[in-house]
Structure 1
Amino acid sequence: MFDKQYRFRGRHAVRVDALTSVFDSNSKAKLFDRNVDVYANAPLVGFLYGRTAEQDDTRNPETNQVYNQNVMGDRVIYSQEELQFNFRLIMLLDKDYEPNEDARIDKAFKHMGENPDDEARFDSYVRGGVDVLYEKLIEGVSSPDEYVTRLYDFIEEFQEKFNDEISSDDILKLCSK
């Protein structure tokens, strides 16, 4: 698993292209430098926001070809450790997908990548995360200042939603169990 090219298709390919495009021609600023950066972050965003998405086959009206954006195999392999960590984390935490704790542990460690359904679940979080990132950071934006504002708002929302209620004591309690 995570040893070959990954392909975004349809609307997700278009959205990845937008997420990795220069939004300010003066500074050459981008939200994400490369497709692999989106691929590494999107599943976590999708999981945390509870968003999955089905494969999409939106076509380019000029060519009638399904839109594609690739993450080259060497980039996937280079990021394999991070991608495996994210996969394991999601398999461990996704109680809706697998209610049994022992089975989640097995999916994450013993049988990682053996079940096509597990990989499909992970990929659905990738696509859902791409949708969240696009909606929060790109959709409806028309100026570089708006991109920066959207990014700031997203980071602030993320902090409030997922980090504000966590204290150092809570982390220490979890680590000492």
Structure 2
Amino acid sequence: MFDKQYRFRGRHALRVDALTSVFDSLSKAKIFERNVDVYTNAPLVGFLYGRKADLDDTKNPETNQVYTQNVMGDRVIYSQEELLFNFRLIMLLDKEYEPDEEKRIDKAFRHTGEDPADEERFDSYVRGGIDLLYEKLIEGASSPEEYISRLYDFIEEFQDKFNSEITNDSILELCSK
């Protein structure tokens, strides 16, 4: 698992391209530096926001070929540990997909990647995360200031939604047990 090239298809390929494109020609700034950076972060965003998406076959009208963006095999292999961690985390936490705790543990550790449905579930979170990142960070923005403002707003929203109750004291308390 996570040992070969990964291909984004259709609208998700277009959105990955937008997420990794320069939005400020002066500073050469990008939201994500590489396609693999989107691939490693999108499933977590998709899972946390409860966003999944089906495969899409949007085609280039000029060539009638499905749009594609790749993560080269060497980049996937280089990021294999992080991707596997994300996969296991999602398999462990996705109670909607597998209500039985013991089966979730099996999917995450004993039978990692053996069931194609597990990999498809992970990929659906990748696609859902790409959709959400695109909507929050790219869609409708036209100036470097707008991109930066959208990124700031997203980080602030993420902080409020997932980290607002975490304090230094609660972290220290967990560490001292």
Normalising by structure 1, we get a TM-score of 0.96
Counterpart amino acid of 1:92? L
1:173 is displaced (CA, Å) by 6.6
Query: For residues 36 and 24 of structure 1, what CA distance do their matches in structure 2 show?
Result: 21
* Pair 1:96 & 2:100 matched: no
1:167 is displaced (CA, Å) by 3.4
Match of 1:24 in 2: 24
1:165 is displaced (CA, Å) by 1.4
SS of residue matched to 1:132:
helix
- 1:43-122 to 2 correspondence within 5 Å? 43-122=43-122
**Stretches (4+) displaced over 4 A:** 168-177
Please list the CA deviations of residues 60-108 of structure 1 after superposition, one character each: whole Å capped at 9, or x if unmatched: 0111100000000000000000000000000000000000001000100
SS of residue matched to 2:70:
strand
Counterpart amino acid of 1:78? Y
Counterpart amino acid of 1:113? G
Query: For residues 173 and 90 of structure 1, what CA distance do their matches in structure 2 show?
Result: 26
SS of residue matched to 1:86:
helix
Match of 2:133 in 1: 133
* Pair 1:150 & 2:150 matched: yes
Match of 1:15 in 2: 15
Gaps of at least 5 residues in structure 1 are none
- Residue identity (%): 82
SS of residue matched to 1:23:
strand
Please list the CA deviations of residues 118-147 of structure 1 after superposition, one character each: whole Å capped at 9, or x if unmatched: 000000000000000000000000100000
Distance 1:175 1:105, change over 3 A: farther
SS of residue matched to 2:114:
coil
SS of residue matched to 2:16:
helix
1:33 is displaced (CA, Å) by 0.4
Counterpart amino acid of 2:76? V
SS of residue matched to 1:50:
coil
RMSD: 1.4
Gaps of at least 5 residues in structure 2 are none
Match of 1:33 in 2: 33
Distance 1:33 1:55, change over 3 A: same
Query: For residues 120 and 134 of structure 1, what CA distance do their matches in structure 2 show?
Result: 21
Counterpart amino acid of 2:3? D
Normalising by structure 2, we get a TM-score of 0.96
Query: For residues 133 and 126 of structure 2, what CA distance do their matches in structure 1 show?
Result: 10
